[in-house]
């Protein structure tokens, strides 16, 4: 029984060491630091998706552009 606890303790310590040193990190393909932009049209990527203030700002910009194009088409 003691042998089982020793083996379990070694596995827990080894697992913690691997996680702490960063050797076992999932590859997400992107950085979740909020500074990744795939292109000039992209948004900052955060842990839960995109920053809503940037999305709202882009929507307002596009709505303004649509209104501008529609008004120029009517004239």
For the chain, the structural domain boundaries read 2-74
Residues of the chain with pLDDT under 70: 22-41, 47, 75
The predicted structure's pLDDT at residue 22: 67
The pLDDT value given to residue 27: 58
Across the strands, what pairs with 45?
Answer: 50
CA 14, CA 42: separation in Å to the nearest integer?
40
Whole-prediction pTM value? 0.43
pLDDT of residue 50: 77
Query: What's the pLDDT score for residue 16?
Result: 86
User: pLDDT at position 34, please?
Assistant: 53
Tokens, residue 54: 């940037």
Cα–Cα distance, 52 to 33 (Å, whole number)? 15
* CA–CA distance, 45 with 58 (Å, rounded to integer): 15
């Amino acid at each position: 029984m003691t042998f089982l606890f020793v083996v379990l303790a070694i596995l827990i310590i080894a697992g913690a060491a691997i996680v702490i040193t960063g050797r076992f990190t999932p590859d997400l393909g992107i950085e979740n630091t909020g500074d990744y932009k795939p292109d000039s049209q992209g948004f900052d990527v955060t842990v839960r998706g995109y920053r809503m203030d940037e999305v709202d700002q882009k929507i307002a910009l596009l709505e303004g552009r649509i209104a501008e194009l529609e008004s120029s088409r009517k004239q």
